[in-house]
Amino acid sequence: MTAEFMFITFTLFLAGVVAVPIASKLGLGSVLGYLIAGIAVSPVLYWAGVDVIALQHFAEFGVVMMLFLIGLEMQPRTLWDMRARIFVMGGLQVTVTAAAVMGVAMLMGQPWSVALAIGMVFALSSTAIATQTLNEKGLMRSDGGQASFSVLLLQDIAVIPMLAFIPLLALPDLSEALHHADDHGDGHGEAGLNLSLVDGLAGWQTALVTLAAIGVVILAGMYLTGPIFRFVSRARLRELFVTAALMMVVGIALLMTMVGLSPALGTFLAGVVMANSEYRHELESDIEPFKGIFLGVFFITVGASIDFALLLENLALILALTIGLIVLKSFVLLVVGRAFRLSGGDKWLFGLGLAQAGEFGFVLVSFTVASAVIPREVADILLLVVALSMLLTPALFILYDRVIAPRYSRDQQREADDIEADGSIIIAGHGRFGGIVNRTLQAAGIKATVVDYSDEQLKMLRQYGLRVYFGDATRPDLLHAAGIDHAKILVIAIDGKASITELARHVHEHHPHVHVVARAIDRWHVYDLWSVGCRDIIRETYDSSIRATRSVFEAMGYPRDRAERIVDVFEDFDRSMMLELAELYDPEAANSEDSAYAAHVRQNMPTWEAELNGRMRQVMDEVEAEGGTKQG
């Protein structure tokens, strides 16, 4: 048994390690890589007798972790501001989609109860695929990305009433057959552990227990998180802190499952409650790797769950149903998006990004069979449609990236002809980074042309009299409309490593007269930007870290000028070392141990450490000789 478990684990990890880098290199994204990996290893899993569906339900815990991490990034105020999109926009999408699918199913000869159940199954979209892909492409903060997330959140909420309503649709003939099968079964079904807290309760009792469970999650997040983690931290064991973080997420998911709620929804709520916790960043860093592993396995199981024998027998029907579902959902989403003032590329991002069926579809289909609502032969077809629609989703994002987004970029160029290039400075992105640059310039009486991709953000900024323009600054035509040909300085403050690097590369190659000031996400991103020709690079957290270090020395009693001299020594050394390494960095061989960069680091690390320590000792001796700290 141990060898079998290790073999399955090795097979899944090997498939992901091989397929995902290839898919990413081809611009297909990690999700499609995992799905292809699942298809590739499905014969091996079948030969090994693996229950792929059971494995898939286990791997769905990655979705639970992802929703928890998203909740940690949200403030309760932010969630409240999104309430119209969550409940009205999301509710409209679920209702209209379910009704439309139900109508099509009835036209195909299904009874109304079966058709309604199918409509509810197909009304849901894949939180895992859509959210992962939006984050990878840096589109989550766009209007289309925010609308997509709002609707996905409502869909998770909608699963709860769906699970309560579906048993009411049971067909008498199927119920009788199901009970007959149970009566003649082997009796093993009674041996399972039933942890439900609501089985056998009246409706009002179930509601009270459910509300109490939600209250426990909120109160625990607000009042127990701190004491628990403070207690655990006394052991000074990193692995114990990770265990506590996972225990908390698993416990919340278990409690939500026991009262019949979506575990993903429960952990999201817990994440929102903990968004202001002092342990927020620690929780993120501890859970992130496990989320990635579980999600990867989940996507692999989706690819592996495709029943190719059944697919080949009903190829035309299943392909027609899959494509028809994507077209129908896209149409409904486009109409709903338009009603909520989504336009241009954001409308299509919203329409295509959520056009698939979702992972909860697997759960609902199985539940409908167990509840005698949908016949097994129909359910098998539905499961294939769910899996294939998820498999096609990365292709829809590729369609958006390569066909639709460029088209709307060209449309933007015509609309952007009205951009009044106020001066010689362009700021791409007006978030927490670019916004400070623009405000400082304005205070000094210097005007800049600001371009940002979030229409909602720009509406807010215009209320305060700021001159800003909507558009994707990574598009060359919009840069032209913003005045790049005559600009002297471009500040790149957009999100996403790849987008920042590509924009810096384009401007360096086609507008070499422009001085580029680029926001770097981390040290490796600095090297990437240097390799494409950018020479004025600002690490987004570096200066604040230097200031924090200076504050530490001030808190120890050193006067500010002496504290600055100390941190200046480190800063000068760090910059000189980075310049030295930047010349050796090769993006194509960034992770290779045989690269010139890696060899240089191995050779010089002892020398660098000795030199830095020597400089720091020298400046500390000088400071102490001048009087040391205030206390001294």
User: 255-269 b/e with 16+ CB inside 10 Å = b?
Assistant: bbbbbbbbbbbbbbb
51-175+285-408 shares its CATH topology with 419-540:
no
CA distance 532 to 505: 5
Lowest-pLDDT choice from 345-349, 383-387, 454-458: 454-458
413 pLDDT tier (thresholds 50, 70, 90) = very low
Q: Give the pLDDT confidence score for residue 527 in this predicted structure.
A: 87
**Confidence (pLDDT) at 372:** 82
DSSP assignment of 462-528? HHTT--EEES-TTSHHHHHHTTTTT-SEEEE--S-HHHHHHHHHHHHHH-TTSEEEEEESSHHHHHH
pLDDT on residue 97 = 95
Q: What is the pLDDT of residue 115?
A: 93
Q: Which pLDDT score is estimated for 257?
A: 80
For the chain, what are the domain ranges?
51-175+285-408, 419-540, 549-632
418 pLDDT more than 50: no
> pLDDT class for 151, splitting at 50, 70, 90?
very high
Residue 203 confidence (pLDDT) above 50: yes
The residue with greater pLDDT, 538 or 193, is 538
Neighbours of 394 (CB within 10 A): 24
Q: Reduce the secondary structure of 170-197 to three states and give it as a string.
A: CCHHHHHHHHHHHHCCCCHHHHCCCCCC
Q: Of 39-48, 272-281, 283-292, 515-524, give the range with the top mean pLDDT.
A: 515-524
Q: What is the pLDDT of residue 370?
A: 76
Q: Examine the pLDDT at 526 and tell me if it is beyond 60.
A: yes
Contacts of 185 (CB under 8 A, 6+ apart): none
The pLDDT, as a whole number, for residue 51 is: 77
> Rg of the Cα trace of the chain?
28
Segment 10-31 mean pLDDT:
79
- Residue 327 confidence class, pLDDT cut points 50, 70, 90: very high
Average pLDDT over residues 407-419: 50
The pLDDT score that the predictor gives to residue 197 is 81
In angstroms, how far is CA 538 from the centroid of its own chain? 25
Q: Which residues of 545-577 are buried (b: 16+ CB within 10 A; e: fewer)?
A: ebeeebeebbeeebbeebbbbbbebebeeeeee
Chain center to CA of 545: 26
Which of 93-97, 186-190, 540-544, 591-595: highest mean pLDDT? Answer: 93-97
Residue among 501, 506, 497 nearest 475 (CA): 506
Task: Return the pLDDT at 354.
Answer: 93
In this structure, of 266-280, 327-341, 587-601, the range with the lowest mean pLDDT score is 587-601
pLDDT at residue number 335: 94
pLDDT surpassing 80 at residue 612: yes
pLDDT averaged over the chain? Answer: 80
For the chain, report the end-to-end CA distance as a whole number of angstroms.
67
The confidence score (pLDDT) of residue 29 equals 66
Q: Which residue has the higher pLDDT, 350 or 129?
A: 350
**Element spanning 533, H or E:** none
332 pLDDT higher than 90? yes
Note the pLDDT of residue 590. Answer: 56
Mean pLDDT to the nearest integer, 148-176: 79
**What pLDDT score does 284 carry?**
73
Q: Encoding tokens for residue 220?
A: 């625990």
**Residue range 51-175+285-408 in CATH 1.20.1530.20:** yes
Least confident of 11-25, 417-431, 509-523: 417-431
Residue 188 pLDDT > 50 = no
Residues of the chain above pLDDT 70, percent: 84
State the pLDDT at residue 455.
Answer: 58
pLDDT band at 61 (very low <50, low <70, confident <90, very high): confident
So what's the pLDDT on residue 28?
66
Most confident of 47-51, 170-174, 589-593: 47-51
State the average pLDDT over residues 373-394: 88
594 pLDDT tier (thresholds 50, 70, 90) = low
**Per-residue pLDDT tens digits for 225-243:** 778 877 887 776 777 877 8
Structure-block tokens of residue 543: 């200066």
Q: Is the pLDDT of residue 201 over 90?
A: no
Average pLDDT over residues 188-195: 54
- Whose tokens are 């639970």? That residue is 64
Q: How far apart are CA 403 and CA 271, in angstroms?
A: 36
Confidence of residue 220 (pLDDT cuts 50, 70, 90): confident
What b/e readout covers 594-604, taking b as 16+ CB neighbours within 10 angstroms?
Answer: ebebeeeeeee
Please give the torsion angle defined by the CA atoms of residues 613, 615, 616 and 618, in that order, rounded to the nearest 10 degrees: 120
**Predicted TM-score (pTM) of this structure:** 0.59
Average pLDDT in the 410-429 region?
59
Domain 419-540 in CATH 3.40.50.720:
yes
pLDDT value at residue 206: 79
Mean per-residue pLDDT, 22-39:
77
